[in-house]
Structure 1
């Protein structure tokens, strides 16, 4: 009788959840959490046991398949100790902690699935590096949902209450102002851009590919060995560039930084200096919602601007493209078409479609806004939050998370295509500093 009662409570997976569990798209989010002091494992376990993490149904459910082969969530008792993996290896003298953590994450990103005999999450404790790696299957939720849950498990270092929400949606009301002619013209522009970009999305899904460059991936690249590097940006530097452009956003600046950084990297890769000691010298220089998987896709063209003398031109071009994209319904269309394909044809076809999009494009970039103030977990100050995921057919995958005034961009690469990701990270950092200098000079 007890067994039948539990079966009645089984919940089906969402369409996105089934997609992320398919063999080709098996996605695990790996979140590195750095600490100021040595990690007290028992204190962390106690925090987890008393946190909302355990109370959330997705984090306390097993993935099962019914008699028809359909995946279901089944509630279970969580044994927290089974979710902890303590890595007590010594730190190498010739490497810093950042490199060691990134090497560990790079190894996890290839062929390291989560065990299905327990809920799909686990915590790796890197004792020597004073770091936790929270591994969560993407089927449990998207980046925004998981960030909200994580914040609920922490408290602010200054003792204040956690911040609720942000101001990212403030401009939506402003765009609706104006007379009926302005609104009607805006509607026509939205329809036209939506048609153009949605058609481009469909074409990109089926057969249109990015032009060949030195950073392209392709089918099977998700199985190649990976390397990981971190590009670090100050939020104030991003804002200094943003202010130079009316109505610009941080994402506009980031898109410009990526475009400029990739251009710099491709220039270096094609030069003789890339294979000489000059690169070693370069590396030594200093640069000044609701729960679930709800996300859309923007296809953003990143142009290779060789010989551009104005660093702000990258942001200017990025903002123009982003403004047009945000006027369209491309992101909504990509979300809707993914759900429709999953509902009508099942995860195999939806997985094939998403895999084709990735194979036909050059890289993936995501950005999640994190907490603005320093946090404590088990009374230990958190020094950084960094996120990466399982490998994709791209040669480059980038995930950014902001925390306490710093934005860390994790750059995961196929090392046989991009053997020196630190150089690419340095190109991004230098691009922002050059943009900041140009923006300040223009004020």
Structure 2
């Protein structure tokens, strides 16, 4: 009997290889450079005791089916040129899920919170195993002050940008009200109402005014982009932020142990301010952050003054802090066309295609630091800066220049330049929109989500994550620079209360 041996055609073999192997994107290669080795870490609090077997089975049906989470990073040499590629591999879920033994019988809530902070901080010193896909999940049977149990997700940043990774995590979750439905994100209306009103009129006068506004907007867009580009270059070359108690010196430094803490506040309070001040949630969050940082720095400068022995002026006052402080944040902007949660769920379930990877640009955002008699001034300055930054192509330009730098000078030079630029600023900042209804993590209802990033050259990183009617503020700090991160969270919360009170008093006065 003749035995038929089926062999793949060269075309089929090439197609299969392309599907199983993909080159790392330019940004992903930068995130693997020693000068910029970054990780994304997310702490998730749940309302019930975690069942590891249920979670592992859920991962098999979702996350592991995603190409990046079932591929390992491999260095390959082709024609004397070394390249980095994602190579599909067989994933054993149990090898990525860690369930540590915790003696919880003598741990009270306050001590449990400290244990969690210490556990997560220890993870920042442990690199992921490159012989398997670059992610892991820690399941902690630990009752804290705001959760019955805790899960900690850790990804390498080369897998994707923070917004995509969080969207992917949400695509693995379901509504607690209907376990067959994906989470729902709040609707965002991006329509410009001003231009639509003008185009609705008739006559040459309206058309002339509309053309004039378009021309003026274009001119300002070009001018703002040029100014931002020059400032970006100056920052990369020589323009440094003021040396303050929250600015670290990270230029080409070795990896450090970072501390991660979080605080959850009412999103309704933020929305109340937003509605009354006719702003966006992002405007309010940045305005409150300016106020909180000003309050924290005023305290730190006062403490420093007392330490040097100025007993006669031990009383804290605004003179303890320099009148002019240059304090800027690197804001990450997602440049990819919106990929919905449903698209990512389909990618894991049906193998459908959607765009993935790191497509992010940077905006250098100046914070206005200083104590104000009227706390609402912080909101006004924040909104003015945000509106001006919206009328600029700074983020897109930094992304394009970054790709050019990698092609022209290589990953190492680009990573060192990015490290230098960020080292000359003070902090990183990001705001992510979360579900409006309660969701569950493979059958475990979630109380909060606290994402953050570490590995980049900043002593302070602030992330904001909304969920239902709450907002969670996550801080990643260098404990040798910011020794009391919980105090910074308290100052942020106090600033929110102060601004809310000022808004309510203003509203009652106008009535």
Instruction: Give the match's secondary structure for 2:445.
Output: strand
The answer on 1:207 being equivalent to 2:244 is no
> Is residue 2:447 matched to residue 1:436?
no
Match of 1:257 in 2: 288
Query: Matches of 1:425 and 1:317 in 2, distance apart?
Result: 21
User: What SS is found at the alignment partner of 1:31?
Assistant: strand
User: Does 1:421 pair with 2:432?
Assistant: no
In the alignment, what sits opposite 1:121? 135
- Aligned-partner SS, 1:304: coil
Show the counterpart of 1:283: none
Asked whether the equivalents of residues 260 and 477 of structure 2 are also in contact (C-alpha less than 8 Å), the reply is: yes
1:76 to 1:435, Cα distance in 2 relative to 1, 3 A: same
- Relative to 1, partners in 2 of residues 1:75 and 1:156: Cα closer, same or farther, differing over 3 Å? same
Q: Distance in 2 between matches of 1:12 and 1:351?
A: 18
Contact residue 175 and residue 183 of structure 2 kept, 8 A: no
Q: Distance in 2 between the 1:83 and 1:56 partners?
A: 15
Partner of 1:134: 153
- What TM-score results when the alignment is normalised by the length of structure 2? 0.79
Q: Does residue 71 of structure 1 match 2:84?
A: yes
Match of 1:55 in 2: 65
Name the counterpart of 2:275. Answer: 243
Distance in 1 between the 2:490 and 2:35 partners?
A: 32
C-alpha distance in structure 2 between counterparts of 1:98 and 1:176, whole Å: 51
- The structure-2 alpha-carbon separation of the partners of 1:236 and 1:323, relative to structure 1 and needing over 3 Å to count, comes to same
Say whether residues 1:303 and 2:317 are aligned partners: no
**Residues 250-289 of structure 1: pairs in structure 2 closer than 5 A:** 250-272=281-303, 289=338
Deviation at 1:207?
A: 1.5
Alignment of structure 1 residues 342-381 onto 2, 5 Å: 342-381=406-445
Map of 2:343 onto structure 1: none
Q: State how far apart, in whole Å, the 2-side matches of 1:55 and 1:213 are.
A: 46
Counterpart Cα distance in 1 of 2:306 and 2:55: 46
Cross-structure match for 2:126? 112
The 2-side partners of 1:299 and 1:119 are apart by: 33
Larger Rg: 2
CA contact (8 A) 1:222 1:394 kept: no
Map residues 130-279 of structure 1 onto 2, 5 A cutoff. Answer: 130-159=149-178, 161-163=181-183, 166-168=186-188, 170-172=190-192, 174-175=194-195, 178=198, 179-218=210-249, 219=251, 223-246=255-278, 248-272=279-303
- In 1, distance between residues paired with 2:184 and 2:403? 30
* TM-aligned CA deviation for residue 203 of structure 1: 1.0
Distance 1:32 1:366 in 2: 16
Q: Secondary structure at the match of 1:348?
A: helix
CA contact (8 A) 1:88 1:128 kept: no
TM-superposed CA distance for 1:382, in Å, is 1.0
Deviation, 1:24, is: 1.6
Deviations 1:260-307 (A, max 9, x none): 11110111112259989x99xxxxxxxxx242212221111112213x
What's the offset of the Cα at 1:97? 3.5
Number of the residue aligned with 2:44: 33
CA change 1:405–1:192 in 2 (3 A) is: same
Question: CA shift at 1:374, angstroms?
Answer: 0.8
Tell me the TM-score normalised to structure 1 length: 0.91
1:314-329 superposed matches below 5 A: 314-329=378-393
Flag the 1:369–1:357 CA change in 2: closer, same or farther, 3 A: same
Structure 2: how far apart are the matches of 1:214 and 1:43? 45
Q: How far, CA to CA, are the matches of 2:402 and 2:188 in structure 1?
A: 25
How many pairs were matched up?
429
Quick one: distance in 1 between partners of 2:191 and 2:306? 48
Aligned counterparts of 2:380 and 2:27: Cα–Cα separation in 1: 35
Q: Is the 8 A contact 1:106 1:226 kept in 2?
A: yes
Q: CA deviation at 1:103?
A: 2.2
Shift in alpha-carbon separation, 1:136–1:174, aligned structure 2, 3 A: farther
Are the aligned partners of 2:429 and 2:463 in contact in 1 as well (CA < 8 Å)?
Answer: yes
Aligned partner of 1:286 in structure 2 is none
- What is the SS of the residue equivalent to 2:264? strand
Mapped to 2, the partners of 1:351 and 1:173 lie a distance apart of 41
Paired residue secondary structure (1:384):
strand
The one of 49, 63, 88 aligned to 2:101: 88
Contact persistence 1:28–1:113 (CA under 8 A): no
Deviation at 1:205, TM superposition (A): 1.4
Secondary structure, in 3 states, of the residue corresponding to 2:361? coil
Question: What do the CA deviations read for 1:88-112 (whole angstroms, capped 9, x no partner)?
Answer: 2124337344333222222222x32
Residue of structure 2 in register with 1:337 after alignment: 401
Other-structure match for 1:284 = none
CA distance in structure 1 between the aligned counterparts of 2:447 and 2:480, rounded to whole angstroms: 32
